[in-house]
Structure 1
Amino acid sequence: MDRLLNIFKQIRSKIAFYPSLIALGGLALAFLLIYLESINISSFLIDVAPFLVIDDTDTAKTILSTLIGGLISLTVFSFSMVMVLLNQASSNFSPRVLPGIISDQKHQVVLGLYIGTILYNIFILISIEPTEIEYQTPGFSVLIGIILTVLCLAAFIYFIHHISQAIQVGNILTAIHSRTKKELAIIIENQEDKNQDFPSTDHWEKHKITQRGYFYGILKDDLIELCKESNLKAMISLHKGQFIIDGTVGFLTEKPVEDELKKKIEKTLLFSHTELIGENFIYGFRQISEIGIKAMSPGINDPGTALNTIDYLSSLFIDLLLKKDHEFLTDKNGVNWVSLNCPEFSEILFNVMATYRQYCKHDITVMRKLMHKLKTLKLHVVHSDQLKIIEAEIDQLRQDAITSIMNKRDLELLEADYFSWS
């Protein structure tokens, strides 16, 4: 079941998933209406509500042909807009934001409605028989095609509005922030109910894996079941997003295992040839920081966006302070069977700060905002180790500012009370 859910999640993230389903729905509706026409539903409706039925064959053919041509043009234009959106998002922000835009269900549903309506109208047009017999014209089916086309026009208006909103950097940052905050909340909530009991892994058996690509997840239920059946505890030494080559140590076990069990455990580890976003809060920090750094590039020169990204990162780091450094796979009885290698607070904070310090150290407004962020984090620490980590980053930020900013007055204001005007 775990493996099937993983395959479904990958398919659902593709831009063609919902369009394909809705297109099939359009085909099914066309065949249903063709069947209803074969039992003279148009004849019945002419007697009951004649104003709903088009009973002229030539008129029906003209209407359907016009609708098909117009919808094809509308579809091409909409797909072109999506491509422009993706190109602009990649150029101005980061290529890492593309999966979130591509997987937007609203865009997929609109494009699917276009294709489904086109297929419906095509098959209804084909079903019109060249005869002069009364009621052979699928008048009711043509009416449904007109209604679907009107819905497509309404969807196009919504599509224009939504796509214009989706490209705005504020909405992109808000979406990434909300998704990452939600993922962190789930992890923190699960940790509250779990114990942290797990044996030391210092002398455990190391196992190399033969997989290649980016590690992006685990079939959790399958791995727990294997460990329970073998009465074996394990540690996954890979972290999400890591690129794996042959010979990498993939996991550790508390005792030697047979090759068959080793292969089964390895099959529960998921790899991809491309870097997948997936349910990984690390990508949220990475995406937001990349948008901020891209905004500071000479080609874009948008320090306001960089300041906004620091605000979002500050909010996420406050949540990250609550997350424990260890994650476990636990069965229904609360027993920890597998320990997961997850990035620590110090690593994430360093990676974010290192990129900002490198590319923003010449801008006093951004440096002041970073200093303010670090001092704010000091007020939310959970234990003393986190305080030491933040103090170390403050020292590094101060050193970069001293070496890069020549204006003495600017340096004096580096650690003054920060007033945000962004």
Structure 2
Amino acid sequence: MAWVRIAYNRLRTSLWLIPAVMAAAATALAFAVLYSGLDLRISPQGGQGWVFSGDAGTARDLLSTLLSGMITMTSLVVSITMVVLSLSAGQLGPRLIWNFMGDRQIQTVIGLFVATILYTLVILRSVNEELGASYVPHVAITVASLLVVTCLFALLFYLNKLARSIISDTMIDRVAQNLAGAIAAQPQARVATVGGPLPSGSHRRTIALETSGYVQFVDYAALCRIATRRNALLTVRIRPGHFAIRGGGRIDVLSQDPLPEPVDDDVRAAFVIGPDRTADQDLEYSIRQLVEIALRALSPGMNDAFTAMAVIDRLAAAVEAIGRRPLPRPEYTDQNGTVRVIADVSTYEGVVDAAFLQIRQSAAHDPAVLMQLAARLGDLLEVSRSDEQRAVLTKHIELVRRLSGALDEPADGRALEHTVAEARGRSAAALPPRATRPVRRAD
């Protein structure tokens, strides 16, 4: 199922799948209209004025004109798309192109253009001037005309979509929505039915991954079943999003009896490794996409503080949502509550570091961005839910405060100190700490 999920995400973010399906449907529609006998029941001679009424020569000329125009229009769309992708890659980052390619509306518009071309081509091949007027597919030609008109309106929608897609706020909003979806998809911690000790044993060994690449998915439930059958404890020292080197990415095994060699292959089969990172189990993936937008905005070539501040706002909202949900616990238990897998998981501190650390480093001499960062950290401190969260946020506020002395203008330093003081003052309004989160049990 892990491979199916990864393959589905690949297909979802490809520009060819929906156009290919629509093209096949258009070809089937063309043959259906040609051989369904609609021209015998619906014809211009029967008083249907909206149906094409020309002869075979006129039909071929019209279809040839429509086909030529559609090919030209599609070439224009492809050219504009390549220009927009180039601009987006330069301004916002090449890794954000996946968000553009995965847009269903863009895929559908491109599919409509390709489908109209194929439909018109099939109909054009069926028109034969030597067979007489009775063999002219009037209904099919009318449908081709309607498809071309639809493409004209779709072109206007597509141009508006592309124009909005290169606006940084639009891309920030889209990536933030993906991040919100990734946060909502994070598994909730579950209470174990029976508490139990860690398995003990005298046999220790290490299982290494045999493929280099990014860990995209780890089937912890499968690892838990393997450890339960062998009465062992697996300690996974790598998590989704990390890069694994062949022979590295160790999985430590502790068991009472020596494990046979086939167990190594079963353990490796629980890991999906690919050429890039995915958002399936990698909570920091979408966070780093937003961070990349901010870092490019803070680069000397762009120097766009407003985009960086917009990213900080979105990241603060994401961190707040993460703080309200129990993060995955490292322990996975069997049905009896015995810990079978200890995983390397994301922590609240790691999430906050991924969100704000690089932005703070790049904005070390930008007082506006630093004050925005301090203000949002203060907001997060106000709604924090545990001592752990407050300690992490206070650490980052202190790191921002230390940069006040490095600013060129003393007034900017004093303004930053004032913002930091206000942020620290909100800690009194923070919520009391919650109870310790429960251990999650694998299915």
Structure-1-length-normalised TM-score: 0.88
1:226 to partner: Cα distance: 4.8
Alpha-carbon distance between aligned partners in 2 of 1:198 and 1:177, rounded to the nearest angstrom: 40
In 2 relative to 1, CA 119–230 (structure 1 residues): closer, same or farther, beyond 3 Å? farther
Q: Which amino acid aligns with 1:11?
A: L
**Which of 269, 291, 294 is equivalent to 1:292?**
294
Q: Give the corresponding residue for 1:400.
A: 403
Please, which moves more after superposition, 246-255 or 73-82? 246-255
Q: Which amino acid aligns with 1:186?
A: A
Say which SS state the counterpart of residue 369 (structure 2) adopts: helix
Alpha-carbon distance between aligned partners in 1 of 2:402 and 2:199, rounded to the nearest angstrom: 38
2:42 paired with 1:45 = yes
Task: Give the conservation status (yes or no) of the 8 Å contact 1:236–1:251.
Answer: yes
Alpha-carbon distance between aligned partners in 2 of 1:267 and 1:229, rounded to the nearest angstrom: 16
**Which of 346, 351, 373 is equivalent to 1:348?**
351
Say which SS state the counterpart of residue 188 (structure 2) adopts: helix
Say which SS state the counterpart of residue 417 (structure 2) adopts: coil
Alpha-carbon distance between aligned partners in 2 of 1:252 and 1:55, rounded to the nearest angstrom: 77
Say which SS state the counterpart of residue 251 (structure 2) adopts: strand
**Which of 307, 312, 319 is equivalent to 2:321?**
319
Alpha-carbon distance between aligned partners in 2 of 1:172 and 1:201, rounded to the nearest angstrom: 48
Alpha-carbon distance between aligned partners in 1 of 2:119 and 2:253, rounded to the nearest angstrom: 57
2:6 paired with 1:3 = no
In 2 relative to 1, CA 17–279 (structure 1 residues): closer, same or farther, beyond 3 Å? farther
1:199 to partner: Cα distance: 5.7
In 2 relative to 1, CA 220–62 (structure 1 residues): closer, same or farther, beyond 3 Å? farther
1:49 to partner: Cα distance: 4.2
Deviations along 1:197-249, whole A, 9 cap, x unmatched? 68659986431111111111135665566556656554433222211111113
Q: Which amino acid aligns with 2:398?
A: D
1:28 to partner: Cα distance: 1.3
Alpha-carbon distance between aligned partners in 2 of 1:2 and 1:152, rounded to the nearest angstrom: 38
Q: Which amino acid aligns with 2:210?
A: T
Task: Give the conservation status (yes or no) of the 8 Å contact 1:53–1:143.
Answer: yes
Alpha-carbon distance between aligned partners in 1 of 2:412 and 2:85, rounded to the nearest angstrom: 39
Task: Give the conservation status (yes or no) of the 8 Å contact 1:372–1:415.
Answer: no
Q: Give the corresponding residue for 2:145.
A: 146
Q: Give the corresponding residue for 1:175.
A: 174
1:192 to partner: Cα distance: 4.9
In 2 relative to 1, CA 73–287 (structure 1 residues): closer, same or farther, beyond 3 Å? same
2:374 paired with 1:371 = yes
Alpha-carbon distance between aligned partners in 2 of 1:382 and 1:195, rounded to the nearest angstrom: 23
1:65 to partner: Cα distance: 0.7
Q: Which amino acid aligns with 1:211?
A: T
In 2 relative to 1, CA 54–201 (structure 1 residues): closer, same or farther, beyond 3 Å? farther
1:288 to partner: Cα distance: 1.2
In 2 relative to 1, CA 6–305 (structure 1 residues): closer, same or farther, beyond 3 Å? closer
Q: Which amino acid aligns with 1:313?
A: L
Task: Give the conservation status (yes or no) of the 8 Å contact 2:22–2:111.
Answer: yes
1:139 to partner: Cα distance: 1.2
Q: List gaps (5 residues or longer) in structure 2.
A: 423-443
Say which SS state the counterpart of residue 216 (structure 1) adopts: strand
Q: Give the corresponding residue for 2:31.
A: 31
1:22-421 aligned at under 5 Å gives the runs: 22-36=22-36, 40-46=37-43, 48-51=46-49, 52-187=51-186, 190-195=187-192, 200=198, 205-219=205-219, 226=226, 234-255=234-255, 257-278=259-280, 280-322=282-324, 323-324=326-327, 326=329, 338-402=341-405, 404-417=406-419
Task: Give the conservation status (yes or no) of the 8 Å contact 2:127–2:135.
Answer: yes
Q: Give the corresponding residue for 1:21.
A: 21
Alpha-carbon distance between aligned partners in 2 of 1:286 and 1:107, rounded to the nearest angstrom: 24
Task: Give the conservation status (yes or no) of the 8 Å contact 2:199–2:231.
Answer: no
Give the ranges of 4+ consecutive aligned residues of structure 1 lying more than 6 Å apart after TM superposition.
201-204, 328-336
Task: Give the conservation status (yes or no) of the 8 Å contact 1:289–1:352.
Answer: yes
In 2 relative to 1, CA 2–309 (structure 1 residues): closer, same or farther, beyond 3 Å? closer
In 2 relative to 1, CA 388–44 (structure 1 residues): closer, same or farther, beyond 3 Å? closer
Task: Give the conservation status (yes or no) of the 8 Å contact 2:199–2:233.
Answer: no
Say which SS state the counterpart of residue 361 (structure 1) adopts: coil
Say which SS state the counterpart of residue 217 (structure 1) adopts: strand
Task: Give the conservation status (yes or no) of the 8 Å contact 2:53–2:138.
Answer: yes
In 2 relative to 1, CA 219–193 (structure 1 residues): closer, same or farther, beyond 3 Å? closer
Alpha-carbon distance between aligned partners in 2 of 1:138 and 1:214, rounded to the nearest angstrom: 55
Tell me the C-alpha RMSD between the 2 structures.
2.9
Please, which moves more after superposition, 213-222 or 117-126? 213-222
Equivalent residue pairs, number:
413
In 2 relative to 1, CA 81–338 (structure 1 residues): closer, same or farther, beyond 3 Å? farther
Task: Give the conservation status (yes or no) of the 8 Å contact 1:371–1:415.
Answer: no
Task: Give the conservation status (yes or no) of the 8 Å contact 1:54–1:142.
Answer: no
Task: Give the conservation status (yes or no) of the 8 Å contact 1:54–1:143.
Answer: no
Task: Give the conservation status (yes or no) of the 8 Å contact 1:2–1:220.
Answer: no
Alpha-carbon distance between aligned partners in 2 of 1:54 and 1:330, rounded to the nearest angstrom: 74
Task: Give the conservation status (yes or no) of the 8 Å contact 1:99–1:277.
Answer: no
Task: Give the conservation status (yes or no) of the 8 Å contact 1:307–1:369.
Answer: yes
In 2 relative to 1, CA 168–200 (structure 1 residues): closer, same or farther, beyond 3 Å? farther
Task: Give the conservation status (yes or no) of the 8 Å contact 1:209–1:247.
Answer: yes
In 2 relative to 1, CA 372–20 (structure 1 residues): closer, same or farther, beyond 3 Å? same
Structure-2-length-normalised TM-score: 0.84
